[in-house]
A and B are shown apart, each in its own frame.
Chain A
């Protein structure tokens, strides 16, 4: 296990893409300390910003543990393919970007774009997360393409933007435009959702257990389902099932808890 402890607090953004089991593998602590890191426009060595300790524990995969706040450190675990990262505080933006395997756990909150463009692996965030979880890069239509993200707190807008595959589970509330432009995959929201869930979706599945103020006019009610399956697990409903986004000729499915959303009862007349 490698333990990184920030030597001081950071104000300007720090590029943490080298903090990844793939980069650390087979390196001595002094080699790790020499890895280049950008702090704003200054190129520094990792050892300049962090105390690095190596604790050999009998574990099969490499684990990196960050003790302290990493809220300003971006792209931790970017492109990692194996091993494990545990962040005991907050994590900055682009956590696990383009991740290809392994696992990341954040005890605190994570910034926006966590798990963006990820293909494999798991990300677990105990606190809240920002916007664009599992999203695509600007201009691209290739969002999250596999793996799983679990957030125990709340998340912001555009969760799963341009998502293609995989699972995003949020136990708290989410902002607007959940699953915008999503093509496939599953988004589960344990709490409440703001408006415009499923906007412009082409396929995939969004499940909202809590309340949602309204459904887009471009969705049409299709059925009431007593339960829905998420990643093999059954979640008990009943749920309204809406299809859409019809403005895009989409075939996505929106499952909305019937009990929590009595204001949607008028929809039932179309069934």
Chain B
């Protein structure tokens, strides 16, 4: 039995690096410090995995040797006129580096999953810029935390505890105690309300907060949290202010904030379902803080307006810097989606949706992005790594993806691997293979190898390297 410490957790964008695992006979038996999602990953990753490569023959996926699968993959890519290489957010930077070389060699389009998550954030940044930081800056200094369209309580479970409200910094204290006492109060209040409702038996239970999102919690002097979302999430319950935004009206609300912080006056009583007095109060809190941070998630990037929502959010934060220090950060999903953007950018200049078909990088999301290419049915082959587009893409694009040869490098049993023509199960990076990944705030950390992979499973990097070599061999033979 060995205990290994300081392991990074290959699950979400928070990429915690303080995990401790216990390994017995090459099996992980215990996990400490991880959240429920992380622990489940370490303990159960191998439950439904594949270990043998598969190739589709006469419509059926049959087991094949690794060499065969690699050769078949290389042939598909070498033959293609406009291949698509998609995924990259759940693998190491080292693998992505080889992937880019492969895309360049086969003249394809390479795109990572930010195309369907924070791609709009990137487009916004390219128009406006971004005032950002690493997460520790917030631990030490932030006294106002704003979450918009993101629910870290469920999606990034240790975010609040490690980096924002419940963490002790040099200049800011944790608000954990306050939260606990308040939680007690809220529970009691809820219980009393319920009893009262039962006894009186008059009306249906009235919600504690008004539908307009007025704050119901006690006023806090120290760190404050504001949440804007379309529904009251658990994160919102812990907040000092909750702004319930009408779905798809985020842009209007953000622009209204921008006007308010310029001391402008709004000609309306409410914006996106939120009364203007509340907006004014929150705007005052934003201007009055010492250091504020604005986290946003897919609730903002994928609601109507997309990159223009982000454009407005980035502009708001930029404008706030006239009065105080304000920072903004996207809540990235996969543990290395940031890394995929970073590697793409240093090798090609562009963070996603890179078209290498003409021998040099071109970039224009909408033209060179996966969803659009598939919707127009332009690609004639695809390689998918560490992603499950068939489960997540719009129906028509998913259909077009499987009309052409499809290679999947993924150990999991997913709709994509079920429909692929070649399946190569790799070792799990961060558990069975090493590498580098980037936390959501661009801090690079090592992915570690804790246990040995099954003999038939190579790392993503190694698989890609072999496909690349095979493609080059085919090319040489043709010339």
Residue numbers of A with Cβ under 8 A of B are 11-13, 15, 38-42, 72, 74, 93-94, 112-113, 131-132, 137-139, 141, 176-177, 180-181, 196, 199-200, 216-218, 220-221, 245-249, 267, 270
Instruction: Evaluate contact between A41 and B311: CB separation under 8 angstroms.
Output: no
Once A40-B357, A113-B367, A270-B267 are accepted as A-B contacts, the answer to whether A199 and B81 lie under 8 Å apart by CB is: no
Q: How far is the CA of A42 from the CA of B78 in the complex (A)?
A: 12
Q: How far is the CA of A181 from the CA of B314 in the complex (A)?
A: 14
Instruction: Evaluate contact between A13 and B378: CB separation under 8 angstroms.
Output: yes
One digit per residue, 1 when the CB lies within 8 angstroms of any chain A CB and 0 when it does not, for chain B 352-389 equals 00001110000111110000000001111000000000
Instruction: Evaluate contact between B366 and A177: CB separation under 8 angstroms.
Output: no
Instruction: Evaluate contact between B126 and A139: CB separation under 8 angstroms.
Output: yes
Additional A-B contacts beyond A12-B379, A93-B367 (15; CB < 8 A) = A11-B377, A13-B82, A38-B357, A41-B82, A41-B357, A74-B367, A112-B367, A180-B308, A200-B308, A217-B266, A217-B271, A218-B259, A220-B267, A247-B258, A267-B267
Instruction: Evaluate contact between A12 and B358: CB separation under 8 angstroms.
Output: no
Once A39-B81, A41-B81 are accepted as A-B contacts, the answer to whether A138 and B364 lie under 8 Å apart by CB is: yes
Instruction: Evaluate contact between B259 and A247: CB separation under 8 angstroms.
Output: yes
Give the residues in chain A near B268, CB-CB below 8 Å.
217
Task: Tell whether B127 is near chain A: CB-to-CB under 8 Å.
Answer: yes
Instruction: Evaluate contact between A181 and B127: CB separation under 8 angstroms.
Output: yes
Q: Which of B250-271 contact A (CB under 8 A)?
A: 251-252, 255-256, 258-259, 262, 264, 266-268, 271
Contact of A200 among B107, B271, B311, B356 (CB under 8 A): B311
Instruction: Evaluate contact between A138 and B365: CB separation under 8 angstroms.
Output: yes
Give the residues in chain B near A113, CB-CB below 8 Å.
364, 367
Once A13-B378, A40-B81 are accepted as A-B contacts, the answer to whether A216 and B311 lie under 8 Å apart by CB is: no
One digit per residue, 1 when the CB lies within 8 angstroms of any chain A CB and 0 when it does not, for chain B 302-319 equals 001100100110010000
Task: Tell whether B108 is near chain A: CB-to-CB under 8 Å.
Answer: yes
Task: Tell whether B228 is near chain A: CB-to-CB under 8 Å.
Answer: no
One digit per residue, 1 when the CB lies within 8 angstroms of any chain A CB and 0 when it does not, for chain B 414-449 equals 000000000000000000000000000000000000
Give the residues in chain B near A15, CB-CB below 8 Å.
358
Q: How far is the CA of A209 from the CA of B380 in the complex (A)?
A: 44
Q: Which of B211-267 contact A (CB under 8 A)?
A: 251-252, 255-256, 258-259, 262, 264, 266-267
Instruction: Evaluate contact between B357 and A176: CB separation under 8 angstroms.
Output: no
B interface residues, tally (CB under 8 Å)? 39
Q: How far is the CA of A180 from the CA of B358 in the complex (A)?
A: 31
Give the residues in chain A near B363, CB-CB below 8 Å.
138
Q: How far is the CA of A132 from the CA of B364 in the complex (A)?
A: 12
Q: How far is the CA of A196 from the CA of B271 in the complex (A)?
A: 13
> Main secondary structure on chain B at its contact with chain A?
loop
A-B contact pairs, 29 of them (CB 8 A): A11-B377, A12-B82, A39-B81, A40-B80, A40-B380, A41-B82, A42-B81, A74-B367, A93-B367, A131-B366, A138-B126, A138-B364, A176-B304, A196-B251, A199-B251, A200-B312, A200-B315, A217-B252, A217-B255, A217-B256, A217-B259, A217-B266, A217-B268, A220-B267, A221-B267, A247-B259, A247-B315, A248-B315, A249-B262
Give the residues in chain B near A139, CB-CB below 8 Å.
126-127
- Closest 6 interchain pairs by CB? A41-B107, A40-B81, A40-B82, A139-B126, A12-B82, A247-B258
Task: Tell whether B106 is near chain A: CB-to-CB under 8 Å.
Answer: yes
Give the residues in chain B near A74, CB-CB below 8 Å.
367
Contact of A11 among B127, B251, B255, B378 (CB under 8 A): B378
Nearest B residue to A156 via CB reads B366
Q: How far is the CA of A38 from the CA of B251 in the complex (A)?
A: 39
Once A11-B377, A181-B127 are accepted as A-B contacts, the answer to whether A246 and B308 lie under 8 Å apart by CB is: no
One digit per residue, 1 when the CB lies within 8 angstroms of any chain A CB and 0 when it does not, for chain B 6-20 equals 000000000000000
Q: How far is the CB of B38 from chain A (nearest CB, A)?
A: 36
Nearest B residue to A162 via CB reads B127
Task: Tell whether B123 is near chain A: CB-to-CB under 8 Å.
Answer: yes
Instruction: Evaluate contact between A218 and B255: CB separation under 8 angstroms.
Output: yes
Q: How far is the CB of B258 from chain A (nearest CB, A)?
A: 4
Q: How far is the CA of A42 from the CA of B81 in the complex (A)?
A: 7
Instruction: Evaluate contact between B123 and A138: CB separation under 8 angstroms.
Output: yes
Q: How far is the CA of A247 from the CA of B264 in the complex (A)?
A: 8
Q: How far is the CA of A126 from the CA of B123 in the complex (A)?
A: 31
Once A93-B367, A176-B305 are accepted as A-B contacts, the answer to whether A41 and B252 lie under 8 Å apart by CB is: no
Instruction: Evaluate contact between B251 and A41: CB separation under 8 angstroms.
Output: no
Instruction: Evaluate contact between A247 and B380: CB separation under 8 angstroms.
Output: no
Q: Which of B52-101 contact A (CB under 8 A)?
A: 80-82
Q: How far is the CA of A40 from the CA of B379 in the complex (A)?
A: 9
Instruction: Evaluate contact between B267 and A112: CB separation under 8 angstroms.
Output: no
Q: How far is the CA of A248 from the CA of B127 in the complex (A)?
A: 14
Q: A41, A72, A249: which has the most chain B beta carbons within 10 Å?
A: A41
Q: How far is the CB of B188 from chain A (nearest CB, A)?
A: 39
